[in-house]
Amino acid sequence: MTVRKALVVLLLTITAGLLSYLQFTRNDQRDSVADVQPATTTTFPMTTSATAAPEDKTPQQSTGARAAEDAAQQGLTVAFTWSPATDRSPSDAYARARPWFTEAFSARTIVDGGPERGPGIQWDQWASQGAKVVADVDLGCSGCPPDSDTVVHRVATISQTAIVGDQTEKVTPDTTVWITLTRDSERWLIDDIRY
């Protein structure tokens, strides 16, 4: 009788182990399917209003608009990054940014002498401290006319930080400019900067 009981217990243990194994395997497969499924469903755009995500207020951009914004970002960063210790004025930074300007706008900046607004007396203080003023450009499209294949309008907020040695200080206030970019052959260039 003990051998018989031992065999029954052994058979029940093997059966319980097999059922447990199958159950865990099934749960692992469900988990791996659940892990994969959201990634595959989110790659397809939602088409019904019942399943649509919250409304995105940023317009879809064409490749041309992205290229124009890249050019604006680069040009404005150069135009508003200053080295007061070596530059005579912010106009020198505008001169460095001329590769991102149209010929007509470059000619106007030579006559006008660069940006309409500058740091004033702060420039001399930065020069004596050996400061570098670094620009960070944020582009937007609030109230801009529609983009075309040859003209893009954007609003730029330019934040500047003065760096002296290992100290940094935010330059206030930020500068807001409205820019017009035009396409010249395969390049986008800044054609106007208005304050």
For residues 90 and 114, is the Cβ–Cβ distance under 8 A? yes
* Calpha distance 58→56 (Å, rounded): 6
Provide mean pLDDT across the span 37-52.
Answer: 38
Q: Mean pLDDT for the chain?
A: 79
Q: Is the pLDDT of residue 190 over 70?
A: yes
- Choose among 180, 182, 177: nearest CA to 194: 177
Q: Is the pLDDT of residue 181 over 90?
A: yes
Handedness of CA 51, 53, 56, 60 (dihedral sign): negative
What's the pLDDT score for residue 54? 39
| Higher pLDDT among residues 94 and 20, named by residue | 94
Count of residues for the chain? Answer: 195
For residues 71 and 156, is the Cβ–Cβ distance under 8 A? no
What is the pTM for the complete model shown?
A: 0.67
- Lowest-confidence range among 54-58, 87-91, 105-109, 133-137? 54-58
Q: Is the pLDDT of residue 34 over 60?
A: no
Q: Convert the pLDDT of each residue in 120-157 to its tens digit.
A: 889 999 999 999 999 999 999 888 999 999 999 999 99
Provide mean pLDDT across the span 107-115.
Answer: 71
Using pLDDT thresholds of 50, 70 and 90, give the confidence band for residue 13.
low
Tell me the C-alpha to C-alpha distance, in Å, between residue 175 and each of 37, 107, 155: 46, 23, 11
Using pLDDT thresholds of 50, 70 and 90, give the confidence band for residue 77.
very high
